[in-house]
Amino acid sequence: MTSLRSTRDSSGDWQSRSFWLEDRSYKPARRLAGDEMADVVIVGAGFTGLWSAILLKDADPDIDVVVVEQKVAGYGATGRNGGFAMTMVGRSIHDLLRKVGPESAKATHMAMRKALREIESFCAGEGIDASITHPGLLTVSNGPEQDVRIHQDLLAAERLELDDFHEVPRARCRELIHSDRLRMGHFEDDALLVDPAALVRGLRDAAISRGVRIYEMTPVDGVEDIDGRRVEARTPFGAVHADRAVLATNAYASSAPALSRFIFTIYAYIILTEPLTDEQWSRIGWEQRMGVEDKRIMPHFHRPTPDGRILWGGRDAPIAPEGPNPRRDRNPRIFSRLEETLRWSFPQLADVKISRGWAGPVCATVNCFASIGFLGKSQRICYALGYSGHGVGPSYLAAEVLRDLLLGSNSELLELPMTTKRPIPLPPGPLRPLALAATQRVQNVLQRADDEGTDRGALVRLAMRALQ
Ligand SMILES: Cc1cc2nc3c(=O)[nH]c(=O)nc-3n(C[C@H](O)[C@H](O)[C@H](O)COP(=O)(O)OP(=O)(O)OC[C@H]3O[C@@H](n4cnc5c(N)ncnc54)[C@H](O)[C@@H]3O)c2cc1C
């Protein structure tokens, strides 16, 4: 049996987990009550689980799909993220090219561009109001070592003959965003900003309207492959007996031994300002209201929210060897470091107050690549996880791949590296905590190198070679 541990959060309070989830009028769907049959049971109602349910139904309306969620749709990373839907798979376009070669890198990038267009048109077609904008992504450099990384991306884009990456010289960068820290950057046309909780709730409704049965507040304790002929997803309130199962549990899958071999949990943190006045916005420009990332090894990301705040996240990403743990959802030390960098970038916003901070579990893999596949030879249980902090857009592509795997379609998406590239395993047993502790130490060194603006030092050089 693939045993799953549900969240240690017994509070029933999902609303405080992020700014996006705050809406107290949300009514969870009912719990599972007793046993049910289905063709496909999906565990987890984040982007991966709900896109999978919708795409399966759209491909075959007769397929009977049940989604089981331990808390509410979007309770995991989906309801807590920055809302950047990007083409990025891996750490950057340069990283993607380096890891999978030109042909697969281009195919992945083009599939991601298409996925973003489909997210946009699906929401328009369904009338989902997720405050979706298409302002592009500005990636900026704050130091000479970051200039190098910007140029590496631009070279990779040129080599792949991509027409959606553009160099942004210093003057233009500072015209777009009034910060003296900006040295240069690149701009990518195809990137969306979304309200992730509104999107996931819209997906939940779209799934229900297609006949998908969704049970919330229903933790799945385990999924068993019964003699390779069917599966059983067991919960305290009953079981779902199905032909196939999808594990869309992301970081929470770290309790499943077959998956924890190659994933680990890190925490990502975000702070949010109060809404800025028009006058305060005019001090920093940012008229296109695009998403922005810097090119630190452990990057910052920032964006305007639909109600005129600045969302500022990234930097510290501590490893949680124990897996998702709600005690890590708040960390005043990390929040105040984020505030420091916000003030450093925009000293002209000294009068703008921070209103709150939150965090969520990110499912990471050693090479920052998502992984999609089957567990076991009977091919009855499949999974998609490990987006390594970049799953808002890629979860749509992953759901397309899951659909094609489950329906046995002979699709070219099955040739993408997300499916074909074998994940790098972590050392087993007692060596795992040691490997994670060593990874955390390397991360700390990289963090310091970021702060000091240097790629120097033997360990930094070694880690950078592994990453770049
Ligand atoms: C703070 C933060 C900022 C981020 N910012 C961005 C960003 O701007 N752009 C980007 O692309 N990515 C970002 N990410 C990553 C992105 O949010 C994720 O990659 C994406 O949401 C993954 O979706 P998912 O559906 O696979 O997983 P999740 O959203 O984690 O969903 C898993 C679901 O499974 C449920 N579940 C788990 N175990 C069980 C069980 N036993 N029984 C029943 N249900 C279960 C959980 O409750 C959860 O709802 C960020 C992540 C965080 C935490």
**Domains along the chain with CATH numbers:** 2-81+197-262+367-420 (3.50.50.60), 431-467 (no CATH)
Q: At what angle do helices 93-126 and 196-209 cross, to 10 degrees?
A: 60
DSSP secondary structure of 136-192: -EEEEESSHHHHHHHHHHHHHHHHTT-SSEEEE-HHHHHHHB--TT--EEEEES--E
Looking at residue 56, its pLDDT comes to: 98
Cα of 269 vs centre of ligand 1, distance in Å, is 13
**Which residue bears the tokens 């925009």?**
346
What is the percent of the chain with per-residue pLDDT over 90, rounded to a whole number? 85
The lowest-confidence range among 34-38, 198-202, 425-429 is 425-429
Looking at residue 66, its pLDDT comes to: 98
Cα of 75 vs centre of ligand 1, distance in Å, is 8
Looking at residue 464, its pLDDT comes to: 66
**Mean pLDDT of the 98-118 span:** 97
Q: How far is the C-alpha of 27 from the C-alpha of 178, rounded, in Å?
A: 42
Segment (H or E) for 225: strand 222-226
**Mean pLDDT of the 430-447 span:** 92
The confidence band for 257, taking pLDDT boundaries of 50, 70 and 90, is confident
The CA angle 55-30-212, to the nearest 5 degrees, is 20
Residue of 78, 133, 311 to test ligand 1 pocket, by largest number of atoms within 8 Å of CB: 78
Q: At what angle do helices 394-407 and 93-126 cross, to 10 degrees?
A: 80
Looking at residue 79, its pLDDT comes to: 98
Q: How far is the C-alpha of 437 from the C-alpha of 441, rounded, in Å?
A: 6
Show the DSSP H helices in 350-430 as ranges: 394-407, 417-420
Cα of 371 vs centre of ligand 1, distance in Å, is 14
Residues with CB under 6 A from ligand 1: 4, 6, 43-49, 68-71, 75-78, 80-84, 86, 219-220, 248-252, 268, 270, 313, 359-360, 362, 385, 387, 389-393, 395
Q: How far is the C-alpha of 216 from the C-alpha of 340, rounded, in Å?
A: 39
Looking at residue 254, its pLDDT comes to: 84
The confidence band for 120, taking pLDDT boundaries of 50, 70 and 90, is very high
Cα of 131 vs centre of ligand 1, distance in Å, is 19
**Mean pLDDT of the 299-313 span:** 98
Among 203, 187, 54, 192, which Cα is nearest to 113's?
192
Cα of 157 vs centre of ligand 1, distance in Å, is 29
Segment (H or E) for 260: helix 257-260
Q: How far is the C-alpha of 315 from the C-alpha of 324, rounded, in Å?
A: 19
- Give the SS3 label for residue 214: strand
Looking at residue 229, its pLDDT comes to: 94
**Mean pLDDT of the 346-371 span:** 96
46 Cα nearest atom in ligand 1: 25
- Summary mean pLDDT of the chain: 94
Alpha carbon separation from 445 to 8, 300, 301 (Å, rounded): 31, 17, 20
Which value, in Å, is the radius of gyration of the alpha carbons in the chain? 21
Structure tokens, 115:
């996925």
Q: How far is the C-alpha of 22 from the C-alpha of 25, rounded, in Å?
A: 9
The confidence band for 25, taking pLDDT boundaries of 50, 70 and 90, is confident
Q: How far is the C-alpha of 205 from the C-alpha of 216, rounded, in Å?
A: 13
Looking at residue 467, its pLDDT comes to: 58
Q: How far is the C-alpha of 27 from the C-alpha of 450, rounded, in Å?
A: 43
Q: How far is the C-alpha of 357 from the C-alpha of 269, rounded, in Å?
A: 7
Cα of 281 vs centre of ligand 1, distance in Å, is 31
Residue 285, phi-psi category: left (phi > 0), alpha (psi -120 to 50), beta (remainder): left
269 Cα nearest atom in ligand 1: 1
The CA angle 341-347-352, to the nearest 5 degrees, is 90
Alpha carbon separation from 282 to 140, 176, 185, 364 (Å, rounded): 20, 11, 21, 38
Supply φ then ψ for residue 98, to 5 degrees: -60, -40
Q: How far is the C-alpha of 353 from the C-alpha of 271, rounded, in Å?
A: 11
Report the Cα–Cα distance between both ends of the chain, in Å, rounded: 38
Q: How far is the C-alpha of 61 from the C-alpha of 303, rounded, in Å?
A: 38
Residue pair 148/224 in contact by the 8 Å Cβ criterion: no
pLDDT at residue 163 tops 90 = yes
**Mean pLDDT of the 284-292 span:** 97
221 Cα nearest atom in ligand 1: 41
Q: How far is the C-alpha of 167 from the C-alpha of 162, rounded, in Å?
A: 13
The lowest-confidence range among 7-21, 97-111, 249-263 is 7-21
Residue with CA closest to ligand 1 atom 22: 391
What is the percent of the chain with per-residue pLDDT over 70, rounded to a whole number? 97
Residue of 52, 252, 315 to test ligand 1 pocket, by largest number of atoms within 8 Å of CB: 252
Q: Over the stretch 392-413, which tens digit does the pLDDT of each residue have?
A: 999 999 999 999 999 999 899 9
Residue of 250, 305, 368 to test ligand 1 pocket, by largest number of atoms within 8 Å of CB: 250
Cα of 127 vs centre of ligand 1, distance in Å, is 23
Supply φ then ψ for residue 83, to 5 degrees: 80, 20
